[in-house]
Amino acid sequence: MAEMLALDFMQRALVAALLVGALAPLVGVFLVQRRLALIGDGMGHVALAGVAVGVLTGSSPVWAALVAALVAAVVVELIRTSGHSQGDVALAIIFYGGIAASVVIISASPKGTPGTLTAYLFGAITTVTQSDLWIFGALTALILVTFALLRWRLFAVASDEEYARSAGLPVLPLNLALAALTAVTVVVSMRVVGLLLISALMIVPNAAAQVLGRSFRSALFWAVGIGVLSAVGGVVVSYAANTPSGGTIVLLAIAAYLVAAVGSALVGRARRAAHLEAEKHGHEHGPGCGHEAVPHDDHVDYLHDGHLHAPHLGHYDEHDPSHVHAVGDLDAGGRR
């Protein structure tokens, strides 16, 4: 570990992973709510065309990719809201058009071949330069400020556009803002996990967080935590195992989701197994039902033929009389 931290390129890689691991789930939570999990892929392929333009013109591939992704974000959102085409159709057009344009453009550059795009497609975090970090840091700060200012409005629009519109919220500008945030996130992440895998880091931590969280706020914290651990842990594992960083990061995120899903299922099964229901009967327990009411922690049980029945979600739970201190001693007939 000390040897890894002593390397300048690994220090830059870890900082970049930290930024992306926190940033991608923040934006991805709204995409999950809007059922636009694949929009990151569409943006990524147009950003790839921007990278190719940057290589061809000798300009910064990062800035060229950012411009291309922002234009695509606006176009996709306008097409989606206009009703002239379904959102998935617009995404498909951008998906294939971006890939085709990037291959054609890069082939026209004397400095590059289609292989030049590999680092952007699958990530090459160890090639992140100090200037890249400054750009990523500035873009990350911009997204965090925008998120802090608009998060509840974005949440309202992502949850129910019609309600948000009736409440007077500017739905189209907010949707455009979310599309722009997605585009910027894609560009910031392309050197870390790659344009083909960025959607995974935006979506998978949020999928795991939905299993673990009980509210929007708690799910958001879970998503960011899983994203950071996956990104930073993926860089460390990829260094130790000599594996590609992008794929390693995404596999760790998927592993976190599987652990959350399986763990939640096992906990739920254990709780159901410990949840003993009383045998069904037509009698309705309640005040004046003729059966003795027995206080039990935060609820009331009813003494019925030697059993304690507690109303719960349309049925009666069976509680063991020996475990209820308020009941006292019961005889075989269930009487005191």
| Residue 228 located in a structural domain | no
pLDDT at residue 289, rounded to an integer: 67
Contact call for residues 4 and 239 (beta carbons, < 8 A):
yes
More confident residue, 33 or 174: 174
Cα–Cα dist 24/187, whole Å: 11
Q: pLDDT of 146-193, one tens digit each?
A: 888 888 888 888 878 788 888 888 888 888 888 888 888 888 877 777
Angle between helices 216-241 and 198-212 (to 10 degrees): 130
Range of the domain at 79: 2-199
| Residue 65 located in a structural domain | yes
| Residue 329 located in a structural domain | no
Q: Is 280's pLDDT higher than 90?
A: no
| Residue 248 located in a structural domain | no
Q: pLDDT of 88-138, one tens digit each?
A: 676 677 778 888 888 888 887 776 665 667 777 777 777 777 877 887 888
Cα–Cα dist 36/245, whole Å: 25
pLDDT at residue 134, rounded to an integer: 85
Q: pLDDT of 34-52, one tens digit each?
A: 777 777 777 888 888 888 8
| Residue 258 located in a structural domain | no
| Residue 27 located in a structural domain | yes
Average per-residue pLDDT for the chain: 77
Cα–Cα dist 26/92, whole Å: 24
Say if pTM beats, i.e. exceeds, 0.85.
no
Q: How many domains does the chain have?
A: 1
Report the CATH number at residue 15.
1.10.3470.10
Q: pLDDT of 218-268, one tens digit each?
A: 888 899 999 899 888 888 888 888 888 888 888 999 999 999 888 888 877
Q: pLDDT of 286-314, one tens digit each?
A: 666 666 666 666 566 666 666 666 665 55
| Residue 259 located in a structural domain | no
User: 278 vs 262, 281, 311, 320, CA distance in Å?
Assistant: 29, 9, 10, 11
Cα–Cα dist 27/31, whole Å: 7
For the segment 76-89, the average pLDDT, to the nearest whole number, is 69
| Residue 153 located in a structural domain | yes
